[in-house]
Structure 1
Amino acid sequence: MADPQENPFLDDPEAEEEEFDLDAAMEEGDGPTDHARANVDAIVAERDEMRDRLMRALAEAENVRKRAARDRVEAEQYGGSKLARDLLPVYDNLARALEAAGDAKDGIVEGIELTMKELVGVFAKHGITLVAPQIGDRFDPQEHQAMFEAPLPDTKAGDIIQVAAVGFKLHDRLLRPAQVGVSSTPA
């Protein structure tokens, strides 16, 4: 490799790369020796190798940039999934408390309802949505977890016959499947 102080064009970004035409030089009578031809061929080969390495390095840098951008977006969207999973039992307990209260409308029940509404609002703000199947819906193994199967008249196999617990999604990822009972009645 040439020393940068010996060649002033190496540091000049505006210097144009000039191809040495070996055949034209030979026709003009400047015929290089075999040793000079070998040196020129070696320099051209080194240049081509360096160009190839540069192109590969640029491609790798672009791939790393894209991967980092994708990882950053994923971390923003799904970084809080562990905290979200830890909050799901809070939702379940509030839902059980409201179910146990029945139709009572005292201050405690109102407080639980407000707390539940606040929790659902926080979930929505952070992209957490309920997966709440209804009785009679079809079982979807992508969103539901079958807790049991039971034959039930007037249903088809694969129909949801009971919802034990709602599920949750964080954006498009399932945090927890809805826990359901499924009919096993043959069609």
Structure 2
Amino acid sequence: MSTHAPEMPITVDDETGVWTTDALPMLYVPRHFFINNHQAVEDEIGAERYAEILYKAGYKSAWHWCEKEAELHGMSGAAVFEHYMLRLSQRGWGLFSIETLDLEAGKAQVRLDHSAFVYHYGKVGRKIDYMFTGWFAGAIDQINGALGNDIKTVARQVQCAAEEGIEYGLFEVTPLT
């Protein structure tokens, strides 16, 4: 368990109570709190509509995160995406690993083991990790933009551990056509 323990500073501003890790302000909430809220919105507006909303928000957030972290740590290219997957894994969303990454082609495959959503929902026979899809495209597009490559991408979940007979989640990033 300790191999994924965060090696990142968390500071708390005594005056405001704002938590900061690296270059960004953070929120720290129990998993059940976040996922119960996620489930409530999904129940109200439907998983498909919620996935569309989260894709856009996640794309924007990943772009911002990668931009700030690359600047803070002096990183570029694949190192930024690797750092992003590490930090996501260290924050309890699940364990993300890069199966393939070709920035110039705008392609990637990301594996997800031990999804927080799957732990909460269980085997429900559908893809439930849709919150992450925009994150991958946003990260790849920001990194490529910083490298001067204007290719735009789209991400989708190919499989989810919440589906019967599936052991892990898998996401694909491909060029937007």
TM-score range, shorter chain: under 0.3
Q: TM-score, normalised by structure 2?
A: 0.21
Q: Looking at CA atoms only, which structure, 1 or 2, has the larger radius of gyration?
A: 1
Bigger RCO (CA 8 Å, 6+ sep): 2
Indicate the structure with greater strand content: 2
